[in-house]
Amino acid sequence: MDAASDSPNAESPASRLTPMMAQYFEIKAANPDCLLFYRMGDFYELFFDDAEVASRALGIVLTKRGKHEGEDIRMCGVPVERADDYLNRLIALGHRVAVCEQLEDPAEAKKRGAKSVVRREVVRLVTPGTITEERLLEPGRARLMVAVQKVRAREGGQVYGLAALDLSTGAFTLSEADEAGLPAEIARLEPSEIVASQAVYDEREFSRIIGAMRAPATALARDGGDGVAAERRVCEFYGVETLDGFGAFTRAEIAAAALALAYVKRTQFEARPALSAPTRRARGTSLEIDPATRANLELTRTLSGAREGSLLATIDLTVTPAGARQLAERLASPLTDPEAINRRLDSLDFLVEAAPMREALRRALAHTPDFLRALARLSLDRGGPRDLAAIRDGLAAAAALAGILEAAQDLPPELLAAYARLRADCGALERDLQSTLADDLPLIKRDGGFVRASASPALDEARALRDESRRVIAELQSSYAEQAGVRQLKIKHNNFLGYYIETPQAAGETLVKPPLNSTFIHRQTMAGAMRFTTNALVDLDARIASAADRALALELEAFDRLRHACLAEGERLRGFGAALAEIDVAAALAELAVKRNWTRPLVDASLSFRIESGRHPVVEAALKAAGEPFVANDCDLSGEAGEGGRIAIVTGPNMAGKSTYLRQNALIALIAQMGSHVPAARAHIGIVDRLFSRVGAADDLARGRSTFMVEMVETAAILNQASARSLVILDEIGRGTATFDGLSIAMACVEHLNAVNRSRALFATHFHELTGLAETLPRLVNLTVRVSEFKGTLAFLHEVVPGAADRSYGIQVAKLAGLPASVVKRARQALASLEASRSSATLDSLPLFSYEPREPPAPDEVRAALAALDPDAMSPREALEAIYALKRLMEAKGVTAAAAHSIGDWPPRAAPPK
Ligand code: ADP
Ligand code: MG
């Protein structure tokens, strides 16, 4: 270990703390919620429970060392140079780590006395939302820490401010939300970590929200303050007198910003990140998508949590990490302003047309390093030589892009603005980096070796001296060997003596005598060998050592100079970064449009929703990979202002393509509003303000929350919040309960949507009865997915056409699924006899519902009677009699025709709640 007293002393009495353990306990007590990485020489050591947790999480050996209060001190350690990997795994598991460093050399501590301990301090808390190490970050994903603070609203109630900070790039955005909008706003940001003021943290609703998120949450008891105090904190951080220069922020936003900065201080200690000035996203400027809808539409992850197979993964053709992050952000926050959307679409159109330029831009962008993340590391003084190189290469890429865009005539406004930014001059910095940095760069700066030869004469000289030492030493050795007449004389090196001369013992005896002893100075006698030095060697030794030190010092000096030069250009570099990302996204979406045959949507402020030959991008890609075609479908939900949109009831058998159709239309609206071309032959979308998508409980097993209650809570949220501007997708709502309940609820929901919300809506259902509603509700349309049946075998055509499904084809689907033939045959018989007693498939008989028995009628007796029949053994006459008997039995049980139809769905697809 590093110093005599600097170890948990095995010999000390159990009751007495060694000075080192006392230090450990003090630091641990200050960071109770973190695993403490306690630096000891080349290792970070963990003790006690921390050791237990870490050894289990990392699969490293748990050892024991000495005792504390009669108990073994459990410990484990990770080597410093591999700490990143271990940190990565611990953070991924949701742990927080306090990194405690040695702040002085053990030798210095020793000077204070044998019992003194090396000075140590926690220099950083590593948390999921504040990491900056390249190896710990996903290239194409933002790493957001989101701070949530609340203030009292002027009009009463609470307003929440949200500050989203990406420490890995310096991006800092503020927004606010009311109570109802908070879950959607947090979900939009997809945080890696949430920080809340204690007041927010303690709210029941808030814990419900974070309970549903993947991100860990922390309460900051002493938060950033409110009002003037918060504003002062933010001003102080940026070194400005007022925030007016950054824009007009609300009180809630400033309070959240202050909270975020308080957390930065809390986790980064003295290191001060270079953050961009805060920007704000005003309320209502993005399409609101609540967490359930995001999950259900599989925007950035599939329902099972994988990135692969999500919409984002399917449409991401960007070539830089910053571009990928920007695309993810656009997808997470589609716009609601038709003008802004059309500006983006103009850039796309331009790049779709200008194919050679698009390709040139994409070529120039490819391999551009993630220099904004490099800049962020440099600002925290965690950067290495390769981070400087990333900035060098980023500057080169920016210049290359500017050169390509320069040739273009009539750049659309967005690309013109990007071009203007790229023309900012950073030539001096670029030249400095070019001429100073070597071609091959080490990962860390500590050992030097990153400054190019001939970059600095002083460094060249120091290096020459250091590197020539071998040759000089070799020369000296042969001249001494000759002078002493000792062939075996060698010059060696160790840390204690530095350079020294060694001869065999016998030969050495002549060196301690005149005349040789005037040159050779005796240092040590070993077994069989003697060691000497000379004045010349001592001199050379000092010069070599100082040359190495000097070379390293000069290199570190150069590093620091370049680092500061980069930080001084931070504003422009961030401008380049933003422009590069924007161009990457525009070029990638243009490429996507060309490759997959997407078209420009017409986006305006109307209530239109007309899609011709729309496709589901993810399903289409999956089918294409399997060599199968996707059947494109139309959709028209357009409505008039003041009246509201249309509601389409979509019926059809299982597996026909209902869910796909619903989602594809929602996705097309969303993709249009992010400012992209869409997977359709034509699309006219009147701005959607909120998007709602719900799936009936039976279909929602993947999320592990298949209760009917959840389904109803979510449905309630839609019916309470959706407006005439909203788009609502309801997929098989009401199947999580008994058939009658479910049908009644589904029907009432459709009526409410029609009369109150007036949203454009798609409603897929297996309750055929709902199709009857179209007769009385004029804004309702019926759609069905066509199937063909040939000799009792079903083929799915996936074609959506006007009309209602004539039946549910449950048995045919069951047959496709491989149900035993005998069972299928039996089911057909049962269905036939049940259908014989059915008078209508619609809700003509609706009023009957008002006296629906409280208990759903149990069809068990009927089924039992049915099951007892053996049609193969019956004459036609017996069969007819049996049917009459069954019907009498049913009527005796009070089963109506409408209810009987639900028995026609037998076996019922919706499992009754247990
Ligand atoms: P439903 O909701 O009616 O049960 P789904 O929408 O889940 O049906 O679709 C079932 C399967 O049918 C999908 O996984 C997909 O493979 C295929 N499918 C759906 N729509 C189409 C389409 N338009 N073209 C081709 N295949 C489709
Ligand atoms: Mg479905």
pLDDT at 13: 46
Residue 818 gets which letter from DSSP? Answer: T
- Count Cβ atoms below 10 Å from residue 116 Cβ, excluding itself: 17
Which of 103-107, 648-652, 798-802 has the least mean pLDDT? 103-107
Question: 384: closest CA among 300, 438, 441, 327?
Answer: 441
Contacts of 573 (CB under 8 A, 6+ apart): 371, 372, 375, 391, 394, 395, 426, 566
Ligand nearest to the CA of 731: 2
Instruction: Please work out whether the CB of residue 808 comes within 6 Å of at least one atom of ligand 1.
Output: no
- What is the number of the ligand 1 atom nearest to the C-alpha of 662? 6
Instruction: Please work out whether the CB of residue 663 comes within 6 Å of at least one atom of ligand 1.
Output: no
Which of 59-68, 280-289, 783-792, 831-840 has the least mean pLDDT? 831-840
Compute the average pLDDT of residues 643-653: 91
Contacts of 848 (CB under 8 A, 6+ apart): 896, 898
The one-letter amino acid code at 487 reads R
Compute the average pLDDT of residues 687-702: 75
- What is the number of the ligand 1 atom nearest to the C-alpha of 616? 23
844 or 151: which leads in pLDDT: 151
Ligand 1, pocket-test mutation among 616, 619, 767, 784, most atoms within 8 A of CB? 619
Instruction: Please work out whether the CB of residue 365 comes within 6 Å of at least one atom of ligand 1.
Output: no
Q: How far is the CA of 64 from the centre of ligand 1 (A)?
A: 59
**Do the beta carbons of residue 756 and residue 647 sit within 8 Å?**
no
Mean pLDDT of the chain: 87
Instruction: Give just the sign of the alpha carbon dihedral 551, 552, 553, 559.
Output: positive
Strand order of the β-sheet with 602-604 is 602-604, 682-686, 609-614, 633-636
649 or 7: which leads in pLDDT: 649
**Do the beta carbons of residue 465 and residue 473 sit within 8 Å?**
no
Tokens 């059915």 locate to 838
Helix 413-422 / helix 385-406 crossing angle, nearest 10 deg: 130
Q: How far is the CA of 302 from the centre of ligand 2 (A)?
A: 16
- Count Cβ atoms below 10 Å from residue 56 Cβ, excluding itself: 12
Compute the average pLDDT of residues 595-607: 97
Q: How far is the CA of 54 from the centre of ligand 2 (A)?
A: 44
pLDDT per position as a tens digit, 269-301:
988 899 999 999 999 999 999 988 999 999 999
- For residue 34, CA distances in Å to 53, 98, 334 come to 11, 6, 37
Instruction: Please work out whether the CB of residue 664 comes within 6 Å of at least one atom of ligand 1.
Output: no
pLDDT per position as a tens digit, 170-186:
999 999 999 989 999 99
- Count Cβ atoms below 10 Å from residue 487 Cβ, excluding itself: 11
Contacts of 177 (CB under 8 A, 6+ apart): 159, 160, 162, 184, 185, 283
Instruction: Please work out whether the CB of residue 765 comes within 6 Å of at least one atom of ligand 1.
Output: no
Compute the average pLDDT of residues 833-861: 48
Contacts of 255 (CB under 8 A, 6+ apart): 149, 150, 151, 161, 224, 225, 226, 227, 230
pLDDT higher than 80, residue 7:
no
Q: How far is the CA of 657 from the centre of ligand 1 (A)?
A: 3
pLDDT at 4: 40
Residue 718 structure tokens? 């839609």
Percent of the chain residues past pLDDT 70, beyond the cut: 91
Instruction: Please work out whether the CB of residue 651 comes within 6 Å of at least one atom of ligand 1.
Output: no
d(CA 474, CA 471): 5
Contacts of 116 (CB under 8 A, 6+ apart): 3, 5, 19, 109, 110
**Do the beta carbons of residue 848 and residue 902 sit within 8 Å?**
no
pLDDT higher than 70, residue 819:
yes
pLDDT per position as a tens digit, 527-541:
888 999 998 888 888
pLDDT per position as a tens digit, 326-345:
999 999 999 999 999 999 99
pLDDT higher than 70, residue 661:
yes
Compute the average pLDDT of residues 599-603: 98
d(CA 68, CA 117): 18
pLDDT higher than 80, residue 705:
no
Residue 228 structure tokens? 């003037």
- Count Cβ atoms below 10 Å from residue 719 Cβ, excluding itself: 16
Q: How far is the CA of 654 from the centre of ligand 2 (A)?
A: 7
| Strand 35-40 versus strand 43-47 pairing type | antiparallel
Ramachandran region, residue 771 (left: φ > 0; alpha: ψ -120 to 50; beta: rest):
alpha
Residue 627 gets which letter from DSSP? Answer: T
Instruction: Please work out whether the CB of residue 657 comes within 6 Å of at least one atom of ligand 1.
Output: yes
907 prior amide bond cis, ω within 30: yes
The one-letter amino acid code at 873 reads A
Ramachandran region, residue 691 (left: φ > 0; alpha: ψ -120 to 50; beta: rest):
beta
- What is the number of the ligand 1 atom nearest to the C-alpha of 732? 2
The strand pairing partners of 761, in sequence order, are: 647, 728
Nearest CA, atom 23, ligand 1 = 631
pLDDT at 709: 76
**DSSP assignment string, 89-150:** HHHHTT--EEEEEE-S-HHHHHHT-TT----EEEEEEE-TTS---GGGS-TTS---EEEEEE
Q: How far is the CA of 736 from the centre of ligand 2 (A)?
A: 14
Give the pLDDT band (50/70/90) at residue 821. confident
Instruction: Please work out whether the CB of residue 656 comes within 6 Å of at least one atom of ligand 1.
Output: yes
pLDDT at 707: 67
Furthest-apart CA atoms within the chain: distance in Å: 138
**Do the beta carbons of residue 333 and residue 142 sit within 8 Å?**
no
Residue 216 gets which letter from DSSP? Answer: -
pLDDT higher than 50, residue 84:
yes
Instruction: Please work out whether the CB of residue 618 comes within 6 Å of at least one atom of ligand 1.
Output: no
pLDDT at 636: 97
Percent of the chain residues past pLDDT 90, beyond the cut: 53
Compute the average pLDDT of residues 703-732: 82
Give the pLDDT band (50/70/90) at residue 90. very high
Which of 216-225, 233-242, 741-750 has the least mean pLDDT? 216-225
1 or 801: which leads in pLDDT: 801
d(CA 307, CA 294): 13
The strand pairing partners of 490, in sequence order, are: 502
Give me the count of residues in the chain. Answer: 914
pLDDT higher than 80, residue 799:
yes
pLDDT higher than 50, residue 125:
yes
pLDDT at 484: 81
Contacts of 481 (CB under 8 A, 6+ apart): 487, 488, 489
Ligand nearest to the CA of 652: 1
Contacts of 716 (CB under 8 A, 6+ apart): none
Give the pLDDT band (50/70/90) at residue 859. low
Ligand nearest to the CA of 700: 2
Burial of 802 (0-12, 13-18, 19+ CB in 10 A): exposed
pLDDT at 19: 87
Most confident of 694-698, 706-710, 796-800: 796-800
Instruction: Please work out whether the CB of residue 615 comes within 6 Å of at least one atom of ligand 1.
Output: no
pLDDT at 506: 82
Instruction: Please work out whether the CB of residue 782 comes within 6 Å of at least one atom of ligand 1.
Output: no
Compute the average pLDDT of residues 12-19: 63
pLDDT at 895: 55
Instruction: Give just the sign of the alpha carbon dihedral 571, 225, 193, 175.
Output: negative
Which of 152-161, 794-803, 881-890 has the least mean pLDDT? 881-890
Residue 279 structure tokens? 């920007």
Ramachandran region, residue 793 (left: φ > 0; alpha: ψ -120 to 50; beta: rest):
beta
pLDDT at 65: 84
Instruction: Please work out whether the CB of residue 619 comes within 6 Å of at least one atom of ligand 1.
Output: yes
Give the pLDDT band (50/70/90) at residue 590. very high
pLDDT higher than 70, residue 838:
no
Instruction: Please work out whether the CB of residue 762 comes within 6 Å of at least one atom of ligand 1.
Output: no
Provide Rg for the chain, Cα atoms.
37
Contacts of 417 (CB under 8 A, 6+ apart): none
- Count Cβ atoms below 10 Å from residue 173 Cβ, excluding itself: 21
Residue 8 gets which letter from DSSP? Answer: -
pLDDT higher than 90, residue 839:
no
94 or 853: which leads in pLDDT: 94
Tokens 């629906």 locate to 852
Q: How far is the CA of 774 from the centre of ligand 2 (A)?
A: 22
